[in-house]
């Protein structure tokens, strides 16, 4: 509030709220003063609420069924936040509609910091890029709190196709358009989009095969019924170690701590290629900035702890540790990237 009053004079603040009528005598000025008093009262109330936050349990909506990849990060985070904030953190799994149901629950919640969304790439950037009928808008309806992890995939192939490197794969795919089949956990998911991004960047024509989940897809990959996929290395690492599958590269900006000897896609021959998933916490729009800042500080502190860093390392990821503003910029860039790809590859979910 002190910053607000030091930045704007009362007259400038009136003009910001009511335009030119703010400086006119009579009703315009009365309306302006009333508006300013309401603004100041609301801001002071928000500051008071933030100082006492939290004073009751916090619900974190995970927009997927229990036991999935999001729970792997959300539940340990909830336990740690319970300890640091002194209030129970309740994990509420609201699966359905590719995460849209859970996102809508949080969108409609009171913006008081007591209902949060454990968002992901599929729900917040990929889904909106593919489906214009969603009831929520990432930028309009949510406030970014903290990006927890930006988790890359690995490019996993079945040995039967006879390639040993990314360059081999690209050459083979270009020479055999429509022959290679890449699997995903479902239409519109992050692995699907990673494959389409590969087709677009590498100028290949691989065929997408969608499954109902990672499990069935991994079984078919092991059996050679599909040729390759983009998933977390931790999911199939035992099969890679046994020589039943081959990993060619990771899809992050830097090498994975899970396999530091593996090159990134950029290093292996596709400069700028980046794909994967991410998880982060968001709040309904209008949540007081002081509450957002407090949550950001606590979440970042939690994921810097050695046990949480070890947890992330099991998936090949590292904590992001960024600000709400950096998280917002990250999501905007991701949305633009997938919007462009959706148009290029003509992928729609409506």
The pLDDT score that the predictor gives to residue 214 is 86
Among 35-39, 157-161, 310-314, the range scoring the smallest mean pLDDT is: 35-39
Rounded Cα–Cα distance for residues 288 and 151 (Å): 29
Write the pLDDT tens digit of every residue in 91-115: 999 988 889 999 999 999 999 999 9
The pLDDT score that the predictor gives to residue 3 is 40
Average pLDDT value over all residues in the chain: 87
Structural domains present in the chain: 2-51 (no CATH), 58-152+276-345 (3.40.190.150), 154-268 (3.40.190.10)
E strands in the chain = 58-62, 89-93, 115-120, 142-152, 154-157, 181-184, 207-210, 228-231, 246-250, 276-284
The pLDDT score that the predictor gives to residue 346 is 87
The pLDDT score that the predictor gives to residue 36 is 60
- The average pLDDT across 49-72 equals 88
Q: Phi-psi bin for 26: left (phi > 0), alpha (psi -120 to 50), beta?
A: left
The pLDDT score that the predictor gives to residue 6 is 34
The pLDDT score that the predictor gives to residue 256 is 87
Q: Is the peptide bond before 54 cis (omega within 30 degrees of 0)?
A: yes
DSSP character at residue 166: H
Half-sphere exposure of 8 (CA within 13 A, CB side): 11
- The average pLDDT across 70-80 equals 94
Write the pLDDT tens digit of every residue in 21-58: 444 455 556 665 665 665 565 555 556 666 789 999 99
Tell me which residue has tokens 């990250």.
Answer: 330
By CB neighbour count within 10 A (0-12 exposed, 13-18 middle, 19+ buried), where does 166 fall? buried
The pLDDT score that the predictor gives to residue 33 is 61
Rounded Cα–Cα distance for residues 87 and 273 (Å): 42
How would residue 325 be classed by pLDDT, with cut points 50, 70 and 90? very high
pLDDT at 232 over 80: yes
The pLDDT score that the predictor gives to residue 27 is 52
The pLDDT score that the predictor gives to residue 4 is 40
Query: What percent of the chain stands above pLDDT 90?
Result: 67
Closest residue by Cα to residue 95 from 181, 16, 213? 213
Rounded Cα–Cα distance for residues 145 and 142 (Å): 9
Cα 89 to the chain's mean position, in Å?
Answer: 20
User: What is the maximum alpha-carbon separation in the chain?
Assistant: 83
The pLDDT score that the predictor gives to residue 96 is 87
- The average pLDDT across 291-297 equals 97
Q: What SS3 state is found at 296?
A: helix
End-to-end CA distance of the chain: 44
Q: Are 126 and 193 in contact (CB under 8 A)?
A: yes
How would residue 69 be classed by pLDDT, with cut points 50, 70 and 90? confident
Tell me which residue has tokens 């950096």.
Answer: 326
């Amino acid at each position: 509030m002190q910053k607000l009053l030091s930045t704007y004079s009362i007259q400038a603040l009136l003009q910001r709220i009511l335009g030119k009528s703010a400086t006119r005598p009579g009703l315009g000025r009365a309306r302006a003063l009333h508006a300013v008093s309401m603004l100041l009262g609301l801001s002071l109330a928000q500051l008071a609420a933030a100082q006492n936050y939290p004073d009751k349990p916090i619900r974190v909506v995970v927009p997927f069924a229990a036991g999935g990849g999001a729970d792997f990060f959300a539940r340990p985070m909830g336990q740690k936040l319970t300890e640091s904030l002194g209030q129970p953190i309740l994990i509420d799994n609201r699966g359905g509609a590719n995460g849209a149901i859970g996102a809508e629950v949080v969108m409609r919640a009171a913006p008081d910091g007591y209902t949060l969304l454990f968002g992901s790439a599929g729900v917040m950037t990929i889904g909106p890029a593919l489906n214009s009928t969603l009831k929520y808008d990432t930028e309009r309806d949510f406030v970014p709190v903290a990006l927890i992890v930006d988790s890359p995939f690995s490019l996993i192939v079945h040995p039967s196709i006879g390639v040993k490197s990314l360059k081999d794969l690209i050459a083979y795919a270009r020479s055999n358009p429509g022959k290679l089949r890449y699997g995903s956990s479902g239409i519109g998911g992050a692995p699907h989009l990673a494959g389409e991004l590969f087709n677009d960047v590498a100028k290949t024509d691989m065929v997408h095969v969608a499954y109902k989940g990672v499990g069935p897809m991994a079984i078919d990959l092991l059996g050679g019924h599909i040729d390759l996929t983009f998933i977390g290395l931790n999911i199939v690492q035992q099969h890679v170690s046994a020589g039943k599958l081959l990993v060619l590269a990771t899809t992050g900006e830097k090498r994975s701590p899970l396999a530091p000897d593996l090159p990134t896609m950029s290093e292996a021959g596709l400069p700028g290629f980046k794909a994967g998933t991410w998880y982060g916490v968001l709040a309904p729009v209008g949540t007081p900035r002081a509450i957002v800042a407090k949550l950001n500080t606590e979440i970042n502190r939690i994921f810097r702890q050695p046990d949480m860093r070890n947890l992330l390392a099991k998936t090949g990821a590292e904590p992001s540790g960024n600000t709400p503003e950096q998280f917002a910029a990250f999501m905007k860039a991701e949305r633009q990237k997938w919007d462009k790809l959706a148009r290029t590859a003509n992928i729609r979910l409506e």
